[in-house]
Structure 1
């Protein structure tokens, strides 16, 4: 209603795949910028992660459904972003945040190209905040025009490009619990409701995966059950 949207066609039945897609989008949008999405199933727990060097706390997650709940599997991790001080050259292959999809560099720009849809750096910052949840630094940096496999080229700040996947490493067992607790607290605070109904969170037993070669690399997966509106309604009907 706020944006004067009009329904086009009949309302389709919600499939499990559509429900999971909507839940994932809602969750990642609500918890940003405390936790920012990287790739398909990683979150990094730092508002200023793009300009931070070294290991940062993060979370690997997977969302699935069972008969009674939405299950969110969580594994605390360390994430290291690899940024280059060198300028990329036209034709270089890069990966773009937040999707980490591949693109080809077409042009290097010291200042924001006037031919694009952004009139100034603040417009670009606002776009990244509204679309991706990212809070890119206030200090303006250089830019690149990159092209994906089809369509027109897009303008990206250099900080939002990389030539390598982030380095993902496990956490020691003793360090996992505080990171997991902070994430659950953020989820409860930022997303107390889903589809207008309170989100109930129930922690399940842990599934332990131990590396036989190095005990310091012990990792755990914490399964968290989220009772969502559709499933609660089904339970009540039963």
Structure 2
């Protein structure tokens, strides 16, 4: 019998009628930062600079459009005026009128903003895991993290956390051209086209410093000071991209449960990080309380989760970080 727990936290939403949703269009023809060689990455960096320049707003880059950024802001107060100033500073413009904020848009922007602000203490891995280790890329063996899921309605955002052990299997020898691999942070599948001990000249980056800034500014990852080997990675479309070898793995990470006492420690660390990084948003303090503990028991009869309702309110009210995130 395998015991595993998920914990559901409830975050109170602001009154969505007091929020506005706008789509911003990034000017991708201006001079790019050297850490963002593509238009798409330049748009992402603009979005993240907006997030770290105004702790009240939520934002998310569009996953497909190379120019679009989604932004939710508080209509009560001066957030809209501040946004217009940031648009001028970072070369963006508003596309169309202010729109109503739907729970779907709110969830999308909240999720991206949350993962951006809690990095590098908690680093995105795949589409639903967070690793609790600033130096996880250079750490061997089992590391602690959570599997997370976010669901929003008009009044609340539910954050379901399942503490897990994560083992990212590092390659002990070079991966040969033609081999299929998983790349971080998405864990998408790709193929190795070339292996190089030095930075390839055909790539978009001119130095290891540019690569470190890229991974910090775009993904929140902190690469080590010492330069490593590189892989030229090809996806199903587009030109091959340069990846540090520590961001490439042959296999999907091994995910296993952790002992119940350890789960509480990991959850406490996660909530403490939220207290530090997201004390308020959209004009209100962020408050979070544990809503349910769902015990998942793998048995032959396929028993369903048993919810155990609790009520432990937690006030998140300490300072957040700012744009220094983007400076070395």
User: Would the TM-score normalized by the shorter structure come out above 0.5?
Assistant: yes
What does 1:137-152 align with in structure 2 at a 5 Å threshold?
Answer: 137-152=224-239
Offset, 1:21: 1.5
Offset, 1:101: 0.6
Offset, 1:63: 0.1
Residue equivalent to 2:42: none
2:121 touches 2:132 (CA, 8 Å); kept in 1? yes
**Residue from 82, 104, 119 that aligns with 1:17:** 104
* C-alpha distance in structure 2 between counterparts of 1:226 and 1:69, whole Å: 15
2:182 pairs with 1:91: no
SS of aligned partner of 2:172: coil
SS of aligned partner of 1:58: strand
Residue equivalent to 2:252: 165
Q: Mark the runs of 5 or more structure 2 residues left unpaired by the alignment.
A: 1-85, 301-306, 316-328
Offset, 1:163: 1.2
Name the CA shift for 1:56/1:205 in 2 (closer, same or farther; >3 Å): same
2:103 touches 2:153 (CA, 8 Å); kept in 1? no
Give CA-to-partner distance per residue, 1:46-65, whole Å, 9 cap, x none.
Answer: 00001101111100110002
SS of aligned partner of 1:94: strand
1:33 touches 1:133 (CA, 8 Å); kept in 2? yes
* C-alpha distance in structure 1 between counterparts of 2:153 and 2:248, whole Å: 37
Q: What is the aligned-residue RMSD (CA, Å)? A: 2.5
Task: Give the structure, 1 or 2, with the largest relative contact order (CA under 8 Å, sep 6 or more).
Answer: 2
Residue equivalent to 1:217: none
Residue equivalent to 2:158: 71
Q: Mark the runs of 5 or more structure 1 residues left unpaired by the alignment.
A: 214-219, 228-238
Paired residues, what number? 222
**Residue from 98, 103, 116 that aligns with 1:29:** 116
TM-score, structure 1 as length reference: 0.86
2:187 pairs with 1:100: yes
Give CA-to-partner distance per residue, 1:122-171, whole Å, 9 cap, x none.
Answer: 11000000000000111100001111111111100000001111000001
